[in-house]
């Protein structure tokens, strides 16, 4: 009788966040380095929408810190996935104004970044359904 290969299991967890609810969770089975473990969506426990995968080095701001959550969502929109602890985003993007400057410094037009921020603010000011 032939033995089956063991199922891969995640040895580390990845942070996921719900921008609508401003909540973040580590999810079991979400290894970010083992290619044998498929990525899977994780629903938010509160609103049931799919959460956003933010990487191993993401540190969630307090739920009441609305400007910090705007900053995180803006960084995510422009490609930041918090996969490395060496980026120094905690220092470079300490405030929303510094985040705008950081993204502009990466080559994104400042007017475009400000418009995206405005869009995110409008979307987050609506009550969730």
Residue 38 pLDDT grade (very low, low, confident, very high; cuts 50, 70, 90): low
Distances (CA, A) of 115 to 31, 36, 81, 88, 122: 34, 39, 21, 25, 11
Closest CA to 55 of 38, 34, 33, 37: 33
pLDDT of residue 66: 93
Q: What are the two backbone dihedrals, phi and then psi, of residue 96, each rounded to the nearest 5 degrees?
A: -65, -40
> Of 83, 92, 114, which Cα lies nearest the Cα of 15?
83
pLDDT tens track for 66-89: 999 999 999 999 999 888 777 788
């Amino acid at each position: 009788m032939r033995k089956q290969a063991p199922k891969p299991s995640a040895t580390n967890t990845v942070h996921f966040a719900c921008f609508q609810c401003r909540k973040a969770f580590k999810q079991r089975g979400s290894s970010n380095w083992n290619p044998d473990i498929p990525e899977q969506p994780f629903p938010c426990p509160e609103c049931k929408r799919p959460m956003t995968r933010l990487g191993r080095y993401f540190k969630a701001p307090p739920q009441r810190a609305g400007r910090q959550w705007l900053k995180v969502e803006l960084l995510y929109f422009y490609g930041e996935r918090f996969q490395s602890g060496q980026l120094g985003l905690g220092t470079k993007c300490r405030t929303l104004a510094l985040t705008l400057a950081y993204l502009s410094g990466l080559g994104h037009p400042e007017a475009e970044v400000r418009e995206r921020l405005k869009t995110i603010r409008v979307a987050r000011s609506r009550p969730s359904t």
